Amino acid sequence: MAISTPSRSSGSPVRHIRRLLAARSAGVVVVWLFAAFNVLTGVWLLLSSLKNADEIFSSPWQLPHAAQWGNYARAWTTGLFGQAAFNTVVVVGGTAVVTLILAAPAAYALSRITTRFNGGFTLFFALGLGIPAQVVMLPLFVVMNQLFLVDSLFGLVVVYVATSLPFAVFFLTGFMSTLPVELEEAAALDGASPFRTFWQVMLPLARGGMVTVLILNIIQHWGETVFALIFIQNTQNQTLSLALLGFLQQMQFNGADWGGLFAGVTIVVLPVLACYIWLGRRIIEGMTLGSVK
């Protein structure tokens, strides 16, 4: 009787697993290196904001000899960061709230009302994600100018809401599709109207997805510069990103205040970083729950 010899491919599953483990280990190393680089960059930025210009260039990696808190005072007053911070909070907060108010009912309708037009509407919102901002700038400026919304915080909120809705509706549609239909049926048996079912039953269940959209919206628009630079012309209406840009331009004529510049960058970056560290887990949970059905 002939004895069969093992084929050469018998060890391929083992090699495949080893390759997967090696790729996973390499990926973990890359992620940790990237995270360490970002942390070190943030620490360096914070330390540089407490130094004078001579220390920034002579000892960039050392602790400041004496904390220069006056850098933040100059950035806050000379760079008009105080008014810009207030404007940014108003614009970003208004954009996030209005986006959720409009996106949540639309996403619920697309995920629950079954018609032959649902696929087209969902595709319509998805296409909005692929439109570059540069394409709509000129016609959008013409329309906003005719409506007297240029150089207005309300007009900037309108622009931000319009650019945020496609992602918000697309994301919440997938999230609300994962919610159990049995709860809606039970509410209907109890005599609840569709609006009451949405408001009292489904909306609390979609809180995780809505918080995720809220945080991503804040992160997206906190440091936005392109639309703000086009639609805001008065310094009293400028946001933090425009205040930082204006402070950088002042340095070209009034001398290089690098300490104040790093302080201004810290003022712009630190609130978003703190928000992400505080609520980052909710972002991951919301995106994970909304990715499966």
Q: How confident is the model at residue 252 (pLDDT cuts 50, 70, 90)?
A: low
Between 1 and 22, residue with greater pLDDT = 22
Percent of the chain at pLDDT above 70?
88
C-beta of residue 172 within 8 angstroms of C-beta of residue 110 = no
Q: How confident is the model at residue 223 (pLDDT cuts 50, 70, 90)?
A: confident
Q: What is the pLDDT of residue 292?
A: 45
List the one residue out of 69, 90, 84, 56 whose CA is nearest residue 247: 84
Q: Tell me the average pLDDT of the chain.
A: 82
Q: What is the pLDDT of residue 281?
A: 67
* H, E, C per residue of 128-159: HHHCCHHHHHHHHHHHHHHCCCCCCHHHHHHH
DSSP state of 192: -
Q: Is the pLDDT of residue 211 over 60?
A: yes
Which segments of 59-206 does DSSP mark as H helices, in order?
70-77, 81-112, 118-127, 133-146, 153-176, 181-189, 194-197, 203-205
Amino acid at 15: R
pLDDT single digits (tens) 43-69: 888 888 888 888 888 888 888 888 888
List the one residue out of 180, 212, 208, 203 whose CA is nearest residue 108: 203
Amino acid at 46: L
Q: What distance in Å separates the CA atoms of residue 165 and residue 172, rounded to the nearest whole number?
A: 10
Between 137 and 254, residue with greater pLDDT = 137
DSSP-derived 3-state class of residue 196? helix
Q: What's the whole-number mean pLDDT along residues 210-222?
A: 88
pLDDT single digits (tens) 127-149: 777 777 778 888 889 999 998 98
Between 110 and 239, residue with greater pLDDT = 239
List the one residue out of 216, 215, 242 whose CA is nearest residue 229: 242
pLDDT single digits (tens) 146-165: 989 899 999 999 999 988 98
